[in-house]
Structure 1
Amino acid sequence: MKVLMIIPAYNEAMNLASVVDDIKDNFAEADILIVNDCSKDNTLEVMKKIEGINYIDLPINLGYSYAVQTGLKYAVQENYDYLIQFDGDGQHLASEAKKMYEYSLEKDVDIVIGSRFLSETDYQHSFFRKIGTTLFQKIIKRLTGKHVSDPTSGLQVIKRSVFVPLSKIYAYPEFPDANLLIQLIYQGVTIDEISVKMKNREFGESMHGGVIKPIKYMLKMFYYIVMVYFNNLLGKGKKK
């Protein structure tokens, strides 16, 4: 089985070296792809100095979701069997990603989410993100009947049968979180979670930092979820 770690990076120059070292030490069988989303710092220079990885340097800033989809397209092109979405900010741990990958192989699950909330951990969630997580848990349960404890987790293991269609979506969701999970559940994709440990960001700023960004995220997410729900009622977006 070929497995690829996709790391979208925007202004992560201070974190990338330690992130890659962690993967090499604890998940050596995984290949690494860093997608630099036109960072304003010296992320590109840092990437070029790291040995044993592949990278893509986007010419313009496409945003997190399209940086991820760029990685999906690469995984399809290079015939990977599994990919792992892995943040470049140092919060995700390679040992936990490996545990998720092994679980996915054992259980033959389409998507495995690394959950911060299935059990007690030391992870500190901001006030606004706690509210959002709780709301999205309830919305997903209401619309699909499935409980997802961590719908905003960026740590996911995805099987090829799922990431190939995702790589071809013309308008990939700006925030591929609860909205995309609901759509995939409607399409019959199997989703499971296991409890993982994560660290808090040490350097840099989160894309959901502050007050305004989380509010904008919530409003857009509600809109996307409504669109997914009505498209499902109308028979659109069904798995072909």
Structure 2
Amino acid sequence: MKKIVIIPAYNEQGSIVETIEDIKINAPEFDYIVINDCSRDDTLKICREHDIHVLNLPINLGIGGAVQTGYLYAYRNSYDVAVQFDGDGQHDAKFLKMMADTLEKENLDMVIGSRFIENEGFQSSAVRRFGIRFFEVLIRVLFGQKITDATSGMRMCNRKVMELFIKDYPKDYPEPETVSRLLRHKYKVKEVPVIMRERQAGVSSISSLGKSVYYMCKVSLAILIERLR
């Protein structure tokens, strides 16, 4: 199968080279594409200096638009499997083969890398763990399936899911909402244990209290609306 890693990148100059090296060393069977979301730092310059495969967006689309661009690229270039992978150094490429094997052998539509199955590695802050736990309960109540790490940006899918996502994808904070969408459509979704690291560089998009409150309200409402569709 043709497999590709989609790396949405916004101001990741401090970690993008190490992220690509990790993929090349630990997941050499995967191609990759960096989606540079109109970074204001030297992310694009560094990618070009290191001959990193990069698709440069002329305007900032946000995480949802960048990831959707990656899915569109993967679908149009006949990839069978696409995996979202953070450019900030949090994700570990050595788990990609295991995720792909699980996707194929169990005939799944999406595999999510969860840090909360075996609770190893970086577990995020207490506040964020509370939010993730809240989404776990909400999704289980509304859709009947336990998803321990709905906010995980380490997600692998098949072409059927790519086709769904290129038609419609949330602009911001898309992970819990799109997992809910797949569950509503009865797609087969499974989590597997992975170990994540602390962010190596850059700043989170929900680093402030105001953004955190907006995030919880927006995503919760989106999940509820998804259930009502």
Report the number of matched residues. 229
2:43 aligns with 43
Pairwise CA distance, 1:172: 3.0
Q: How does 1:1-240 map to 2 (within 5 A)?
A: 1-51=1-51, 53-169=52-168, 172-231=170-229
CA-to-aligned-CA distance 1:54-85 (integer Å, 9 cap, x gap): 21111111100110000011011101000010
CA-to-aligned-CA distance 1:114-142 (integer Å, 9 cap, x gap): 00000121213112211110110001100
Once residues 187 and 24 of structure 2 are traced to their aligned partners in structure 1, the CA distance between those partners, rounded to angstroms, is 30
Task: Assess if the C-alpha contact under 8 Å between 1:117 and 1:195 holds in 2.
Answer: yes
* Matched AA of 1:167: I
- Most deviating of 87-96 and 117-126: 117-126
- Most deviating of 124-133 and 113-122: 124-133
Pairwise CA distance, 1:226: 2.1
Pairwise CA distance, 1:41: 0.3
Task: Assess if the C-alpha contact under 8 Å between 2:4 and 2:32 holds in 1.
Answer: yes
List structure 1 segments (4+ residues) > 6 angstroms apart after TM superposition: none
Once residues 190 and 4 of structure 2 are traced to their aligned partners in structure 1, the CA distance between those partners, rounded to angstroms, is 19
Task: Assess if the C-alpha contact under 8 Å between 1:85 and 1:157 holds in 2.
Answer: yes
CA-to-aligned-CA distance 1:161-204 (integer Å, 9 cap, x gap): 111121111x6342212222112111011000110011001211
Pairwise CA distance, 1:225: 1.5
* Superposition TM-score, scaled by structure 2 size: 0.96
RMSD value, Cα: 1.2
Once residues 200 and 121 of structure 2 are traced to their aligned partners in structure 1, the CA distance between those partners, rounded to angstroms, is 15
Once residues 170 and 152 of structure 2 are traced to their aligned partners in structure 1, the CA distance between those partners, rounded to angstroms, is 17
Once residues 186 and 84 of structure 1 are traced to their aligned partners in structure 2, the CA distance between those partners, rounded to angstroms, is 21
Once residues 11 and 194 of structure 1 are traced to their aligned partners in structure 2, the CA distance between those partners, rounded to angstroms, is 29
Pairwise CA distance, 1:214: 1.3
In structure 1, stretches of 5+ residues that fail to align are: 232-240
